[in-house]
Amino acid sequence: MSDSDESVEAIEVRLLLEAIHARWGYDFRDYAASSMHRRVLAALAASGLPHLGELQHRVLHDRAAFSDLLDRITVRVSEMFRDPAFYRALRDRVVPLLRTYPILRLWNAGCATGQEAYTTAILLIEEGLYERSQIYATDLSQRALEQAKEGVYPASDLPAFRTNHAGSGGTSDLASHVTVAYDHIAMREHVRKNIHFFHHDLVSDHVFGEMHVVFCRNVLIYFGRKLRGRVLEKLAQSLCPGGFLCLGDSERLGDSDVERRFKPFVAERAIYRYEP
C-alpha cells in the first residue's frame, strides 16, 4: 500500500467520524488516531461492505448499522475480577479509607458489559460496605448496557471468575452471589440492587455527581492526548477531594496540569488520589 492510499484512507476514517458526530452526536474525532483507524477498518471488514464510503452511507442512514459500528469500534474486554492484584490493592489500601465515609458513590466509567460493576459490588459486599454504596455504571454503547443490566454471563467464565476472585483476596462463596443455570451465571438480586446502569458518553456528556471512587480502567488509552486531558478534567470534577481514581494496570498519569492533581496512591496498580 502506498503512502497516498494510506492518507486517503485516513481521510475517509476522519470523514466517517465527522459524519457520526454530525448525525448521532457521538464524538470519536479526538480518539487516538491509529487505534481508531484500526478499529474502523476492522469494523469495515466485519460489515462486508466494499469501502468506507459505503459504510459511511449506511451509518448515516441506518441506526442499526450505526449501533453495529459503535459496538465494533468501542468493544472492550471485560471479565469478573479482572486484574486480581488491582482488586487486592483496592481491598487492602483503599477500602480502609472508604469505611470512613457514611455514603459511598462509585462510578464505573466505561462499564462495557458490566462485569467490573458487579465485581465492585461483590467486593463491597464482602467488605460490608455495599449497603451504603451506590454504583453508577455508564457506557456509551446501549447494547453493552442492555447486557450489563441483565447481568448474565456464560458459565465458561466461571473458572476464571473463581481464580481471579480468590486472587483478589475474596472471602465469600461466589455461589452466594451468582445463580448458575443453563450454562450461564446470573448475578443475584442482592448484587444487582445498588448498581445504576445508564448511558453516558465521557466525551460529550458532563459530570453528574460527586464520587468517592471512579473506575476508568483501560478507557483513556483509546483517547488522543487532548481528549484524554479533557476527560481527566471531567473525572477530576467528579471526584470529591481525596477521592480515588482507578486506571488500567498499564495506564499512568503524566504531569500535565490536570494530571498533577492526582497523586499516586498505589502507584503500581494505577490507583490515584484526587488532591486538588
Partner 1 sequence: MRLTLRASLIAIVSIMAAAFLVVIVASDLVTSRVRERLVEIEQRQIPRLELGPRIAADFAELTRTFQDAVAAQDADALEQTRRVRDRIVARLEEGKAVFDPAASEELRVALDAYHELALDVSRRMIAGEGGEEMIERITRMQEAQARAQAQIDRVVAFDARYLRGAFDDARAALLAGGRTRLVITGTCLALVLGLAIVFTRGFVRSIAALHEGFARFGKGELDALIPVRGNDEIADVAAGANQMAKNLAELEAERERAAAETRELLERTREQAARLQAQEEELRATNEELQAQQEELRLTNEELSEHARQLSEQRAELEAKNEELRELSRRLEQKAAELATVSAFKSQFLANMSHELRTPLNSMLLLSQLLADNPEGNLTPKQVEYARTVNGAGKDLLFLINQVLDLAKIEAGRQEIHVEPVRVEDIVERIRRVFAPLAAEKGLSFDVGIADDVPRSITTDGQRVGQILTNLVGNAVKFTSRGAVKLAVRRPDPSVELRTLRRETTIAFVVTDTGSGIASEHRERIFEPFEQGGEAGNRRHGGTGLGLAISRELATLLGGELRLESTAAEGSTFVCYLPERCERTEKTEEPRRAATPAPKRAATPAPVARDGGAAPDDATHLLVIEDDPLFLEVLGRIIGERGLSWLAARDGATGLRLARERRPRGIILDVELPDIDGWRVMEALRADPATASIPVHFVSATDAPDRGLALGAVGYLTKPAAKKDLVRVVESLGRQRAHRVLVVESDASRGQTLAEQLATLEVETTVVKSAREALDVLEKKSFACMIVDLSVPDIEELELLEILQRRAAASQDTPAVVLYTDRPPSRSEAMRFESYASVVLDEGASTDRLLDEVRLFLRRLEAGMPRRPTPNQSVGVRLEGKKLLVVDDDMRTVYALSAALRAKGAEVLVAENGAVALEMLDANPDVDAVVMDVMMPEMDGYEATRRIRAQPRFERLPIVSLTAKAMKGDAERSIEAGASAYLPKPIDADALLSLLHSFFTGEEKA
Determine, following the binding rule CB under 8 A, whether residue 275 of this chain makes contact with partner 1.
yes
Determine, following the binding rule CB under 8 A, whether residue 149 of this chain makes contact with partner 1.
no
Determine, following the binding rule CB under 8 A, whether residue 276 of this chain makes contact with partner 1.
yes
* Candidate ranges 43-51, 69-77, 150-158, 237-245; the one touching partner 1 (CB under 8 A): 237-245
Query: Closest Cα partner for 120 from 217, 237, 263?
Result: 217
Contacts of partner 1 in 90-109 (CB under 8 A): 96-97, 99-103
* Candidate ranges 23-31, 52-60, 109-117, 173-181; the one touching partner 1 (CB under 8 A): 23-31
Using only C-alpha atoms, the chain has a radius of gyration, in whole angstroms, of 20
Nine-digit cell string for 199: 448511558
Q: Which is nearer to partner 1, 89 or 185 (CB)?
A: 89
Determine, following the binding rule CB under 8 A, whether residue 134 of this chain makes contact with partner 1.
yes
Determine, following the binding rule CB under 8 A, whether residue 119 of this chain makes contact with partner 1.
no
User: Going by DSSP bridges, is the β-strand pair 184-187/195-199 parallel, antiparallel, or unpaired?
Assistant: unpaired
CB of 206 to partner 1, least distance (A): 4
Q: Which is nearer to partner 1, 93 or 162 (CB)?
A: 93
Q: Which is nearer to partner 1, 6 or 92 (CB)?
A: 92
Determine, following the binding rule CB under 8 A, whether residue 4 of this chain makes contact with partner 1.
no
CB 80 within 8 A of CB 115: yes
What is the distance between the alpha carbons of residues 264 and 208, in angstroms, rounded to a whole number?
25
CB 252 within 8 A of CB 231: no
CB of 126 to partner 1, least distance (A): 16
Q: Which is nearer to partner 1, 206 or 226 (CB)?
A: 206
Give CA separation, 199 vs 23, 167, 219, 230, 237, in Å.
Answer: 18, 31, 16, 19, 19
Q: Which is nearer to partner 1, 174 or 240 (CB)?
A: 240
Q: Give residues in contact with partner 1 (CB under 8 A).
A: 24-26, 96-97, 99-103, 132, 134, 136, 194, 196, 198-201, 204-210, 237, 240-242, 275-276
